Amino acid sequence: MTERVVLAYSGGLDTSVAIGWIAEETGAEVIAVAVDVGQGGEDLDVIRKRALACGAVEAEVADAKDEFADEYCLPAIKANALYMDRYPLVSALSRPTIVKHLVAAAKKHGATTVAHGCTGKGNDQVRFEAGISSLAPGLKCIAPVRDYAMTRDKAIAFCEEKGLPIATTKKSPYSIDQNVFGRAVETGFLEDIWNGPVEDVYEYTENPATPREADEVIITFKQGVPVAIDGKPVTVLQAIQQLNERAGAQGIGRIDMVEDRLVGIKSREIYEAPGAIALITAHQELENVTVERELARYKRQVEQRWSELVYDGLWFSPLKRALDGFVNEASEHVSGDIRMTLHGGRAVVTGRRSQESLYDFNLATYDTGDTFDQSLSKGFIEIFGMSSKIAAKRDLA
């Protein structure tokens, strides 16, 4: 029986060439799998037909936008997930979504191997292969660019030689990965970290310096889940899409950073994530109102570790699953409304209200009606500072 390889297929030049390239290198039949996580571009049926025309024996396409939003973006929102306190895990979240569909296709078609288009320098190879091995330890993984020296020049020559039905136009100066949660741009002149990004780098966001009217929005959460925008019910996907449009129109969510890749190198990345940044900003503030102090303090440590695990490709790991349980428990009371002003590249919280609020006006006020017993503070300070006071007496002796 002929071996079968499942290929993560985008419909672009590199993965279209990879179909025939893998077949020639391995003698295997190739099954192409394309997953829509809100990246836009061509119709899924067009992509499916192209894969077949390029030599795939089977081609599957999946509209996974809602799945991606509900099962991957939502946990990131609940975890306030920002790698290195800035990056909302745009690409890192989409990889386990795609992995799940690749593994399902491999089982369905009796494939022994899964292939992807990643290079040997990035994080995505790890995210694909660690994810695949967690869901199906018996599957092998290959990467034509990394393992079979499939360079861009060779891919173009292969495409022209075989007469594949895809344009071999000049490659974009940037490497771009995008989905509904955001957009990542790298390479080209951006590799010189002194060079500032130019406006043509951006697609999801308008120039924040352009004068425009501010936009006020109210986001409603129920147990950490965004359920309404300005009082109108939304799915998680719709919340992200609507805020992509509204926050993006105000230039919100642009991130220019040098980040620590898992493979040990530093990389300059430009991100656009207007909806993600708006939602995480609102969610963080609602937690400030509804989550008890010690739980909130500890959750911040969990958030950092959760973000690192997802960035490193360990979505399906035991620790990540255990931390999910903590995050969901911590979200029990995160319900209410956050009002924000979207303007000038910033999402600024201006109002909070919640039936689950821990904010007590009568305890907080300095005016008439104050119920806080200030007479208790002197003794509290004495006891709270006692260990430091005793140590200071010793050290100053």
Rounded CA gap, 8 and 5, in Å? 10
Output the 3-class SS for 236-286. HHHHHHHHHHHHHCCCCCEEEEEEECCCCCEEEEEEECHHHHHHHHHHHHH
Tell me the DSSP string of 168-209.
-PPPPSSEEEEETTEEEEESGGGGSTTSPPPGGG-SSS--TT
* Tokens found for residue 376: 């208790």
Rounded CA gap, 315 and 92, in Å? 9
| Active centre residues (catalytic) | 14, 95, 124, 175
* Tokens found for residue 207: 């120039």
Buried b (16+ CB within 10 A) or exposed e, 364-396: eeeeeeeeeeeeeeeeeeeeeeeeeeeeeeeee
Three-state DSSP class for 322? helix
Please give the helix or strand (H or E) that residue 13 lies within, else none: helix 13-26
Residues 6+ apart with CB under 8 A from 63: 36, 44
Which of 365, 331, 358, 344 minimizes the C-alpha distance to 224? 331
Rounded CA gap, 351 and 168, in Å? 52
- Angle formed by the axes of helices 90-109 and 293-311, nearest 10°: 60
